[in-house]
Structure 1
């Protein structure tokens, strides 16, 4: 009998069905992640995919059992019925959802409460990873270098140079504001946000494959940032461009040990400084850079996640990475 896997990607799967339009940049990234998982699934003959699908979008070009979510199904209303219908039919569930407003942790909790196999990080790890301040405290307690963060304007140190103010539960550069001084950072800081000094270094990200306290570092990626006034955006990624060394391998293992609830793909943003890598934030879910792992490493991430969720060994790359670029500037607007 085939295993029924419910793959839920928030943007393409109706998470914003009650809103008048889908944000173009989020839609592009959501499609990339959804289609990467569906391509992996198509290579697994013993798997059937159940997919929630925003009815405003064209269906994906991959075989899946679609459950349509209509534009009247707001996330807190009709959407729930569609999600529960897919959940009931599934044997295992993989969730790709934003950390903001506790969405990822809440959906993960629904999966485990239903007694289904969770193909991802547990609820506690999602809760910690959804907060930059909680993540920083957790990793710092394990002596892992983290970017300094502050939530109290009165406690900001008088450091020279630029500062960043961003939502504590935001993803990537969402809601990020770049300011010129600690004084401006103190003025911009408000509840639910963190302030961090703008530290010199190269923006990178890591793709980890985790399994309950263990991890394999799959790739180190170069992030290309675009700065426009006080706005910072991730313009492109080159997956696998940075050679893996022992320092980064050890960092991946230490992160997994500090958060043993991590399972499957985990994305980690780091700043490579003169003193080595410093963790900026952690995404306890599939992230955009993972979409290139198939072409970069011949990695079937869905198969690898199924294996570790079943208690099997971590998949390990067999050869050198073939760097792949992902441009994030292309956008499709859907009203």
Structure 2
């Protein structure tokens, strides 16, 4: 196989973090670096890859085939990615779906170089409401199943294209939730309202390809709800918290396959967020059509180079030229 030039760009550590309004910059940057380094560690040293990785922080990994690259002074993330894409065969971009950023990056890179989900999967997964409606049409349990009277005791309002639980509020009554939603819509914020599903918050780490989805890890999500304001706080993820031979694992494998069939453009490393409901089993909350923080350290735990495995799916010309 000829040597491939591969560019890894994680948005936060690659220059996209320009200052936030919630004081979460340091934590977000740490998460970004963890995802970037997980990718780079898997790809570094591969004999048929010439690797470039974006950074504005310290260079954390060294390898003979690895070059760290930085944006020019005043260069925007979009211009930086465009410039690097032109010099590489494949581009693996990790970025939030917020405001269509990940989908925009795919357009800039072009389908021939893109490592990740296709445009349809990004469009659907980029909207919380569109995701739930799409999954519901395919018979997959979502919070929409709890819309009936008396089925939900709490309600959640969140950005329709948000990530990481930012600006998410849990309300004790539907009236409070509707008032929150109306206020956001008046402020021209894209937001959605859905029933809060009681149960254990989990996430699934998947490796998706043309044959479907492989369940790699079942993770526990640590989520707290503010007692005073109902604000949702994401406190991290415990990788592999539920064993793959747990009694719940067969249902979670079916859920992963059902999601991949419902959205066949899912490719590479993908995450699913769900709640395990005591009576109804897995309820799918959202799809993360990209690498997530739960992948950091997963290759080492499984004894596999997951990024290399995922990348192999994009060396096929048919897949690389997909719309």
**Would you call these one fold, judging by a TM-score over 0.5?**
yes
Q: Distance in 2 between matches of 1:23 and 1:133?
A: 27
Residues paired across the two proteins, number: 300
What do residues 139-174 of structure 1 show as CA deviations (whole Å, max 9, x unaligned)? 111101111299xxxx99676632211001001211
CA distance in 2, matches of 1:271, 1:160: 14
Q: 1:184 aligns with which of 176, 180, 200?
A: 176
Separation (CA, whole Å) in 2 of partners of 1:6 and 1:301:
16
Paired residue for 2:198, among 162, 187, 200?
A: 200
Q: Distance in 2 between matches of 1:305 and 1:280?
A: 24
Asked whether the equivalents of residues 6 and 92 of structure 1 are also in contact (C-alpha less than 8 Å), the reply is yes
- Give the structure 2 partner of residue 247 of structure 1: 251
Does the CA contact (< 8 Å) of 1:136 and 1:281 recur in 2?
yes
CA distance in 1: counterparts of 2:131 and 2:152, whole angstroms: 25
In structure 1, how many angstroms separate the alpha carbons of the residues matched to 2:61 and 2:240?
A: 27
Equivalent in the alignment of 2:3 = 2
Shift of 1:289: 0.2
Q: Return the offset for 1:228.
A: 2.5
Corresponding residue for 1:280? 285
> In structure 1, what is the equivalent of residue 302 of structure 2?
297
**How many Å separate the matches in 1 of 2:148 and 2:176?**
11
Question: Are the equivalent residues in 1 in contact too, given 2:224–2:235 (CA < 8 A)?
Answer: yes
Paired position in structure 2 for 1:99:
97
CA spacing shift, 1:195–1:81, aligned 2, 3 Å: closer
Q: TM-score, normalised by structure 1?
A: 0.83
> Separation in 1 of the partners of 2:122 and 2:129?
13
Among candidates 174, 189, 206, match of residue 166 of structure 2: 174
In the TM superposition, residue 16 of structure 1 has moved relative to its aligned partner by: 3.0
Computed over aligned residues only, the root mean square deviation of the Cα atoms, in angstroms, reads: 2.5
Shift of 1:60: 2.7
Aligned-partner SS, 1:309: coil
**Residues 81 and 232 of structure 1: is their aligned pair in 2 closer, same or farther, counting only changes over 3 Å?**
closer
CA apart distance, 1:195: 1.2
Q: In 2 relative to 1, CA 156–104 (structure 1 residues): closer, same or farther, beyond 3 Å? A: farther
Q: TM-score normalised to the size of structure 2? A: 0.85
Match 2:46 to one of 20, 33, 44:
44
Which is worse superposed, 288-297 or 272-281?
288-297
Of 34, 42, 64, which aligns to 2:36? 34
Q: How does 1:210-289 map to 2 (within 5 A)?
A: 210-212=208-210, 214-229=212-227, 230-244=230-244, 245-274=249-278, 275-289=280-294
Cα displacement string for residues 255-299 of structure 1 (whole angstroms, at most 9, x for unaligned residues) = 111111110011000000021100001100000001131132123
Query: Following superposition, which runs of at least 4 residues in structure 1 exceed 4 angstroms of deviation?
Result: 17-22, 155-160
C-alpha deviations, 1:71-124, integer Å up to 9, x for none? 633x4xxx33322221011111111001000000010122225x32x2110122
Q: Please point out which of 136, 140, 151 is paired with 2:136.
A: 140
Q: Distance in 2 between matches of 1:214 and 1:65?
A: 33
What residue ranges of structure 2 are gaps of 5+ in the alignment? Answer: 318-323
